Amino acid sequence: MARPSFIELPAADIDAAKQFYSNAFGWALTDFGPSYACTMTGDVDVGLQGDMTEAPRAPLPVIAVDDLEAALVAVTAAGGTIVKPTFDFPGGRRFHFADPNGNELAVLQAD
C-alpha cells in the first residue's frame, strides 16, 4: 500500500536546521552527503534538503510505493502532471508531480 513515507523541507542552512530539530525535538538525523539529512525512524520521516537548486518551494510530501513505473502511469492517468521526471538518488528513485490543485508531491521507490 502506498503511504507517505517522509516530508522533505527546504533548508538553506542545513547545519542550522539539523541543530534546531535535534535540539527542539531530539531528532537524530542521518547525513546523505553534504546537503541532505533525514530522520530514519521508519515511520513518517523528515528530510532536510540543503541544496536550494533541488529543494522544494514548500514542504514536499513523499509517497512510498513498491513499483515506481506503475505509480507513474497511475499518477498521469489520474490527471497528475509530472514536474520532475524519474531520477536516482542515494537510497532509491523518485519523481515529482503536481496534483489537479497544483500541490507538488513526490513518489519514491526505495532500493
Residue with cell 508531491: 105
* Residue 24: predicted pLDDT: 81
60 Cβ neighbours under 8 A, 6+ residues apart: 7, 8, 9, 96, 104, 105, 106
Identify the structural domains of the chain with CATH numbers, from first to last: 3-110 (3.10.180.10)
* Confidence (pLDDT) at 3: 80
Per-residue model confidence (pLDDT) at position 42: 84
pLDDT the model gives residue 1: 67
Picking from 63, 59, 9, the residue whose alpha carbon sits closest to that of residue 39 is 9
Cα separations in angstroms, 22 against 18, 25, 27, 40, 102: 6, 6, 5, 13, 32
Residues paired with residue 97 on neighbouring β-strands, in sequence order:
82, 105
Low-confidence ranges of the chain (pLDDT < 70): 1
> Can you give the pLDDT at residue 8?
93
pTM of the model: 0.82
